[in-house]
C-alpha cells in the first residue's frame, strides 16, 4: 500500500514515466498486476528461518524504495504469508492495536489474520505498489481485530483502526490473491478498467515486474 495518496480524481495511467524499467542489476523489485503470483493463495510459514528473515529485510527495503507503508510477500514474488508494515505513527486514532504496533514500525509479521471486522464501513482512497498509477476509493470495515506473529516469535491480537486497519486489510488481501482493484464499486471499476488493462499490457514486456 502506498504512503501518499492523490485526491479522488482517478487519474489516467501514464505508461511512459519509468514505471517499468529494465535494469541489468536489480536493486529492488515489485510484481505488478497481471503476475500469476498475485492471484495465488499464499502458503503459511511454519518456521522463521534465516531465509525468511532475509526475505523480510529485502521486502522492507523494497517498501522504502517504492514509498510504501505495507508490502506482502506475493508482491515481492514469494507466495508466503509474510507482510511488512511501516504505517506512520502520527496516524494513530487511539485503538489498542495502534498503540501497540505503531511504535514498533517498521514491522514484519508472519501468518497474519483478521479474526473480526467491525460492521461500520468507511471509504478511503487507496493505491498499491503492484498497481502503479491507479488510485481509487475503497469501502472497508473501520476497525479489525488483527492476529499475527512477529519474527521474534511474539504472538499478538489487537483491535486496530485508522490507516493501520486499512493497510492491514489491503495487505492481507494480497495473501489471498486479491488486489484493491478487486474491491472497487462497479462504477469506479469501470472508470479505471482501461488503465488496468493498459498496465497489464505494459507489464508483459518485463514479466510484470517494476524495478528501482
d(CA 196, CA 164): 26
Burial 36-72 (b: 16+ CB within 10 A, else e): ebbeeebeebeebeeebeebbebbbbbbbebebbbbb
Is residue 147 a contact partner of residue 112, using CB atoms and an 8 Å limit? yes
**Contact (CB, 8 A) for 76 and 58:** yes
What are the grid coordinates assigned to 163, written together?
490507516
The question of whether 157 is a catalytic residue gets the answer no
Phi, psi of 11, rounded to the nearest 5 degrees:
-65, 155
Catalytic choice (43, 125, 142, 171):
171
Among 132, 126, 117, smallest CA distance to 185 is for 126
Q: Which residues are known to be catalytic? A: 171
Amino acid at each position: 500500500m502506498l504512503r501518499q495518496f492523490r485526491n479522488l480524481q482517478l487519474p489516467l495511467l501514464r505508461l511512459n514515466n519509468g514505471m517499468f524499467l529494465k535494469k541489468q542489476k536489480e536493486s529492488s523489485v515489485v510484481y505488478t498486476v497481471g503476475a500469476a503470483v498475485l492471484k495465488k493463495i499464499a502458503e503459511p510459514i511454519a518456521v522463521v528461518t534465516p531465509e525468511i528473515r532475509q526475505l523480510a529485510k529485502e521486502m522492507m527495503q523494497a517498501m522504502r524504495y517504492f514509498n510504501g507503508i505495507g508490502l506482502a510477500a506475493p508482491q515481492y514474488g514469494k507466495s508466503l504469508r509474510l507482510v511488512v508494515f511501516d504505517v506512520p505513527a502520527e496516524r494513530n486514532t487511539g485503538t489498542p492495536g495502534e498503540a501497540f504496533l505503531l511504535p514498533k514500525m517498521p514491522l514484519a509479521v508472519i501468518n497474519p489474520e483478521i479474526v473480526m471486522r467491525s460492521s461500520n464501513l468507511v471509504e478511503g482512497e487507496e493505491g498499491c505498489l503492484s498497481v502503479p498509477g491507479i488510485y481509487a476509493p475503497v469501502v472497508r470495515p473501520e476497525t479489525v481485530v488483527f492476529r499475527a506473529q512477529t519474527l521474534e516469535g511474539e504472538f499478538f491480537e489487537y483491535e486496530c483502526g485508522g490507516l493501520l486497519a486499512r493497510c492491514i486489510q489491503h495487505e492481507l488481501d494480497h495473501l489471498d490473491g486479491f488486489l484493491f482493484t478487486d474491491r472497487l464499486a462497479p462504477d469506479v471499476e469501470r472508470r479505471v478498467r482501461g488503465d488496468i488493462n493498459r498496465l497489464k499490457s505494459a507489464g508483459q514486456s518485463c514479466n510484470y515486474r517494476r524495478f528501482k
